[in-house]
Amino acid sequence: MERSVRGDRRLRDEFDKTVLKYREKYIEKHGSKIYQPEFKWQKSFHDHIIKNEKDFEYHWNYTMYNFAKHNLPDDWKYTGLNFSDLIDDYDNIL
């Protein structure tokens, strides 16, 4: 028996549609039960890839000194300047 290519394609398309329909129904019914982490990026988050040395220096300074812009104390514990004991090979970074 010869099977037609068109018949095979139609059968495969119908199968794909059926699988997608069952998937949608499953997600509708059980989607809220699927574990999703509570972490979400802030709306103002923008990913950035460091392009060159100047760009790195800009972002380093922003990270290290941003607390001063907001008039936080020099010993504010969340600045990178106060984490020297946690950074490996700290002397070679600067």
pTM score: 0.39
The tens digit of pLDDT for each residue in 16-35 reads: 899 889 888 888 887 767 66
CB contact at 8 A, 78 and 67: yes
**Residue 56: pLDDT above 80?**
yes
Burial class (CB in 10 A: 0-12, 13-18, 19+), 60: middle
Q: Which amino acid is at 78?
A: Y
Q: Give the pLDDT confidence score for residue 42 in this predicted structure.
A: 73
Phi-psi region of 41 (alpha: psi -120 to 50; beta: other; left: phi over 0): beta
Q: Which sign, positive or negative, has the C-alpha torsion 36, 37, 38, 40?
A: negative
